[in-house]
Amino acid sequence: MIMRKNVLALVSMLAIGGAVGGAAVARADGPDIIGIRKAGMDLVFAVVGDMKRSVEAGADVMPLADNATAIARWAKQIPAAFPEGSDKGQDTAALPAIWSDRAGFEKASTALEVAAGKLAEADKAGDKAAFAEAFKATGAACGGCHKAYRVKKS
Ligand code: HEC
């Protein structure tokens, strides 16, 4: 009888262990990184669009400093949003070059961070000419990375 109890205890311990192990796996798989990066890209697209409309309307560029800072912060996080193993699923448009040419991908992220940093400086200074130049560089940084690392839209 005692033996049987011990066996049951062992079995239930293993079951708990298994459940904990399972939970750990579920956590590692947890964040929907492809969904997160697509949402981030959609947001940055919206932020850039807002900027463009403001500028076309001849608005003051000073209130756009928060937009610029947000773009720079997102740019810094782009490489982390493309971890190993996130090359498939959810119709991702990520190209394999992101992982085979990691240095180039990181450089492309930095190019956006630098351009957005210049945007923020121009915004804070209220310098429309500097803004126009940095805005062009920002657009080029988006396009440059997409050209090399994103599946072309048909
Ligand atoms: C360092 C590379 C890089 C930079 C810089 C970059 N992107 Fe992207 N972007 C990507 C990749 C790769 C994808 C595809 C992501 C996927 O499908 O998993 C993408 C996807 C997108 C998408 C589609 C998102 C969706 O819902 O499928 C939009 C919109 C976008 N980017 C806008 C921008 C804008 C605007 C900028 C500049 C402010 C920018 N991106 C800068 C690499 C970059």
Per-residue pLDDT tens for 35-82? 999 999 999 999 999 999 988 898 899 999 999 999 999 999 999 999
- Residue 60's alpha-carbon distances to 48, 79, 125, 132, in angstroms, are 15, 32, 11, 12
Lookup: tokens for 62: 């000073």
pLDDT-derived band at 153 (thresholds 50, 70, 90) equals: confident
Residues lining ligand 1, Cβ inside 6 A: 34, 37-38, 41-42, 44-45, 48, 71, 78, 92-94, 105, 108-109, 112, 138, 141-142, 145-146, 149-150
Indicate whether this model's pTM tops 0.75. Answer: yes
Q: Which of 114, 137, 109, 129 is nearest to 48 (CA)?
A: 137
pLDDT-derived band at 17 (thresholds 50, 70, 90) equals: very low
